């Protein structure tokens, strides 16, 4: 099999989730309300531990679209202020996940098209990739506001494939593409769209039922190319 394209989730896959978002979300919550009670309620709704300053694994922020997250917060704080501060802070804090840049450079050298598919907004994805100096690696970047819907539905994956072209064969078929992510939303979307799916665990214990959704499981992005080669996909 020849892989023509690889689609990547952003947070927890390309970007170090906790390194980027723990501080950013804490700042945004505190800016968006002056009420201690509202702060505590909003943090609970978001799955954010105010004491440790961390986004919990169970948080809807880990995988859901921004629209879902803002709906959960709307009754407790100013979502416009939350969004503005979270965006600003995330650009200041954005950190790469392990092994990403070397992997992207190797895929570029192999002429494999890469794209970002995230439940964050497209503009934030583009800004973060620019801060990291990675925009040149991606032929497309789509978010929950790009017109294709949000994961776990497959529309974002299918729509992004439609934006990619292989100069030799034209449109890229799902059977010649891979979806890489760290949550069940990524795997559901990729599987439903007909792509081979790769789960990145980041060293975290992942539920058996989630691991079972993936065609390939890797510990971090530095293992992606060797794993795809071992599976006969590269």
Residues of the chain with pLDDT > 70: what percent? Answer: 97
Beta bridge partners of 49: 54
Which of 73-77, 132-136, 169-173 has the least mean pLDDT? Answer: 169-173
**Distance linking the first and last C-alpha atoms of the chain:** 7
Residue at token pair 């804090």: 93
pLDDT at 45 over 90: yes
Is residue 103 within 8 Å of 200, Cβ to Cβ?
A: no
Q: Is the pLDDT of residue 76 over 80?
A: yes
pLDDT at 48 over 80: yes
3 state SS for 84-147: HHHHHHHHHHCCECCCHHHHHHHHHHCCCEEEEECCCCHHHHHHHHHHHCCHHHCCEEECCCCC
| Token couple for 221 | 């992005």
Q: Comparing C-alpha atoms, which of 100, 146, 105, 104 is closest to residue 125?
A: 146
Per-residue pLDDT averaged across 135-153, rounded? 97
Averaged over 197-205, what is the pLDDT?
A: 95
Give the Cα separation of 54 and 83 in Å (integer): 18
The pTM of the full predicted model, rounded to 2 decimals, is: 0.94
Q: Tell me the per-residue pLDDT of 115-134, one tens digit each, with 9 for 90 and over.
A: 999 999 999 999 999 999 99
For residue 71, the cross-strand partners are none
Cβ contacts of 108 within 8 Å, gap of 6 or more: 114, 136, 137
| Domains, the chain, ordered by start | 5-16+96-230 (3.40.50.1000), 18-93 (no CATH)
Confidence at residue 166, expressed as pLDDT on a 0 to 100 scale: 57
DSSP string, 134-202: -GGG-SEEE-TTSSS--TTSTHHHHHHHHH-EETTTEEPPGGGEEEEESSHHHHHHHHHHT-EEEEE-T
Q: What average pLDDT does this structure show over 86-100?
A: 97
Token pair of 77 as six digits: 């704080």
Per-residue model confidence as pLDDT tens digits over 153-165: 999 999 999 999 7
Q: What percent of the chain has pLDDT over 90?
A: 95
| Token reading at 130 | 């620019």
What is the pLDDT, as a whole number, of residue 171? 79
pLDDT score at 2: 81
The DSSP secondary-structure symbol of 48 reads E
- The per-residue pLDDT for 165 is 73
């Amino acid at each position: 099999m020849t892989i023509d394209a690889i689609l990547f989730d952003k947070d927890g896959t390309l970007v170090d989730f906790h390194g980027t978002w723990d501080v950013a979300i804490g700042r945004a919550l505190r800016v968006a309300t002056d009420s201690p009670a509202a702060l505590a309620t909003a943090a609970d709704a978001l799955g954010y531990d105010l004491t440790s300053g961390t986004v919990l694994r169970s948080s809807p922020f880990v995988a859901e679209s921004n629209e879902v997250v803002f709906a959960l917060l709307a009754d407790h704080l100013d979502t416009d202020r939350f969004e503005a501060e979270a965006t600003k802070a995330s650009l200041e804090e954005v950190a790469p996940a392990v092994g990403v840049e070397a992997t992207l450079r190797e895929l570029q050298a192999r002429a494999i098209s890469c794209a970002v598919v995230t439940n964050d907004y497209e503009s934030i994805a583009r800004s973060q990739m620019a801060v990291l100096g990675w925009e040149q690696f991606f032929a497309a970047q789509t978010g929950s506001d790009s017109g294709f819907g949000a994961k776990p539905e497959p529309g974002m994956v299918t729509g992004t494939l439609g934006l990619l072209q292989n100069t030799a064969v034209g449109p890229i078929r799902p059977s010649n593409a891979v979806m890489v992510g760290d949550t069940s939303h990524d795997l559901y979307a990729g599987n439903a769209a007909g792509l081979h799916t790769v789960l990145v665990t980041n060293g975290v214990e992942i539920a058996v039922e989630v691991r079972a959704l993936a065609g390939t499981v890797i510990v971090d992005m530095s293992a992606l190319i060797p794993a795809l080669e071992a599976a006969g996909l590269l």
